[in-house]
Structure 1
Amino acid sequence: MKLADGDGAFTVSEGGVELLRYTYRPDIAEFECPSPSFHPLRTLDGDVVTGNRPHDHRWHKGLAMTASHLDDQNFWGGVSYVRDQGYQVLPNVGSLVHRDFLALAPERVVEEIDWVTAAGQKWIAERRTMSFTAEPGAWTLDFTSELRNVRDTALEFGSPTVHGRELAGYCGFFWRGPRSFEHGEVLASDGQSGPELMGRAASWLAYLGTHDEVDHTSTLLFTPSPANPEWRWFVRNSPYAVVNPSVAFYDPLHLGAGDTLHLRYRLLIGNGSWPREKLDARASSYTW
């Protein structure tokens, strides 16, 4: 794999195909929560498997770390859900500010990021570690986020469901799929399947989508580390494709002053539609 850096973004390529672009200094409106994110992500065949700034949610950015509710701040972008009032436009949208790279190579990228509130206060110091590996027919992103609370009081991660909206528990590692992935197939561990997985537990979840223009399908396998705090899946295949192993779906997650939240995920992007048996075998093969 080859990594090339420049103009606020780096790319990773394999076999002449640009597999990803990671923009770490985005030029977007403050309302959208400027933050580092992946877009596009591509298969080894070159098919794009992310959507970015869609007209229905301009703050959806390919694949990104988010927190729709962090105390009274919004590190997700856009509107904020308020109990008994619904979604509101509030002056509370923060930003995730790239500070430095400690390592920058396909086998290991280490990035330092500050989570800064709308008022300019640094609440979280994040160390993000990423690596990229390819194999015949697939490649894998290994993503680790260490979130240290640098405030002198505890922080509460939440979601719209925590604040009263039913089955809208998004918070954390969030993927938005391309338009053509609407009505894609959702598979998960223990024989589970379908959008009924919303709010449920599963050790892994896969999204299988179909591309426009080319006669291709693609598979994305999301596998959180078993050491992560308990998660529930936020997943939809209509009216658009999204997947998020939420760390605060039904209940808030508290992070004490000076404490660090450790999160790790593997995202496999495969050519074609992988059957359940192959997905289960791959997820079961991981060592953490």
Structure 2
Amino acid sequence: MKLEHSADALSVLAGGVELLRYVFRPDMDPFEGPKPYLHPVRTLAGDVVTAYRPHDHRWHKGIQMTASHVSGENFWGGGSYVRGKGYVDLPNVGTMRHEEFTEIAADGDRVLIAERLTWHTQSGRHWIDENRTLTVHDVADGAWTLTFTTSLRNVRDAPLTFGSPTTNGRELAGYTGLFWRGPRPFTGGEIVASDGRGGEAVMGEPGPWLAFVGRHDEVDRASTLLFVDPPGARTRWFVRSGPFAAVNPSFAFHDELVLDAGDTLDLAHRIVIADTAWDRDRIEAHAKEQTW
């Protein structure tokens, strides 16, 4: 693998394929919640498995670390869900700013990107310091793995309360945290979950892993994305196959999370990206192989 670096983005390549492009200095409308994002993300076969700025939700950009409700502020983008009113456009859309890379390393088997970011409210208040790492590894047998870890430190002089539209009154809309938006052809794709479960019935349910199988236009291929969280994570899955494909291991789906001043929230997520449609047996076997 190798790494290419420009003024606003990093690209990871393997076998001549750009596996991902990490845009760390985005140029976007403030209403869309400016923040770093991963797009395009590709399989080893070169098929794109992310969507960028879809017309229905312009703030959805590939794979992003997000937060929909933080003590009344919105680091997600777009409108905020207000109990009893629905979605309302408010002057509360914050930004996540790239400050510096603390480590960038690439060898034949692994790429590591370590980054320091800061979160600021729309009014300019600095609330969170973030240390983030993205590691690309295990490139073999038609698949590769992205491990995403982050530490969010509350630098506000008061507690921060992380929530979601569900904690604010909208049922089954508990999205917050790392979010994947799939490409338009993945609409109607297959959702496979642990313990023999599947489909959108797992919305809001806990589980150590979840997989999404989608098919591509133009080429006779399918792809599988396997999302795995470490043991003990408080993950509840936000997942849809319609009207669009999306997966989010939410850390505040049903219940708010309070982070006291000076405290740190540590999160870790893993996404395995395969260039074929895996069946349940193969998905379960690969999930069991994951170690942290």
TM-score normalised by the chain length of structure 2: 0.97
CA distance in 1, matches of 2:211, 2:230: 15
Confirm or deny that 1:109 pairs with 2:113.
yes
Confirm or deny that 1:261 pairs with 2:268.
no
Confirm or deny that 1:176 pairs with 2:181.
yes
How far off is 1:287 after superposition? Answer: 1.4
Aligned position for 1:40: 40
Report 1:78-93 matches (<5 A): 78-93=78-93
Aligned residue identity for 1:93: V
Aligned position for 1:141: 146
How far off is 1:286 after superposition? Answer: 1.4
Confirm or deny that 1:278 pairs with 2:282.
yes
CA distance in 1, matches of 2:231, 2:203: 19
Report 1:134-213 matches (<5 A): 134-213=139-218
Count the aligned residue pairs.
287
TM-score normalised by the chain length of structure 1: 0.98
Q: Secondary structure at the match of 1:74?
A: coil
CA distance in 1, matches of 2:112, 2:275: 24
CA distance in 2, matches of 1:286, 1:214: 30
How far off is 1:263 after superposition? Answer: 0.4
How far off is 1:136 after superposition? Answer: 2.1
Q: Secondary structure at the match of 2:185?
A: helix
Q: List per-residue Cα deviations over 1:40-80 (Å, max 9, x = no partner).
A: 00000000000010000000010000100001100000000
Aligned residue identity for 1:104: I
Which sections of structure 2, spanning at least 5 residues, go unmatched?
none
How far off is 1:202 after superposition? Answer: 1.3
Aligned residue identity for 2:98: H
Tell me if the contact between 1:225 and 1:263 (Cα under 8 Å) persists in the aligned partners. Answer: no
Confirm or deny that 1:11 pairs with 2:11.
yes
Confirm or deny that 1:216 pairs with 2:238.
no
Aligned residue identity for 2:275: N
Which sections of structure 1, spanning at least 5 residues, go unmatched?
none
CA distance in 2, matches of 1:31, 1:266: 29
Confirm or deny that 1:225 pairs with 2:230.
yes
Tell me if the contact between 1:124 and 1:149 (Cα under 8 Å) persists in the aligned partners. Answer: yes
How far off is 1:216 after superposition? Answer: 0.4
Aligned position for 2:2: 2
Q: List per-residue Cα deviations over 1:72-112 (Å, max 9, x = no partner).
A: 10000000000001000000000000000011124321100
CA distance in 1, matches of 2:269, 2:232: 10
Identical aligned residues as a percent:
56
CA distance in 2, matches of 1:142, 1:286: 11
Tell me if the contact between 1:221 and 1:269 (Cα under 8 Å) persists in the aligned partners. Answer: yes
Aligned position for 1:96: 96
CA distance in 2, matches of 1:287, 1:198: 25
Q: List per-residue Cα deviations over 1:94-142 (Å, max 9, x = no partner).
A: 0000000011124321100101110111111000011101112000001
Aligned position for 1:63: 63
Shift >3 Å, 4+ stretches: none
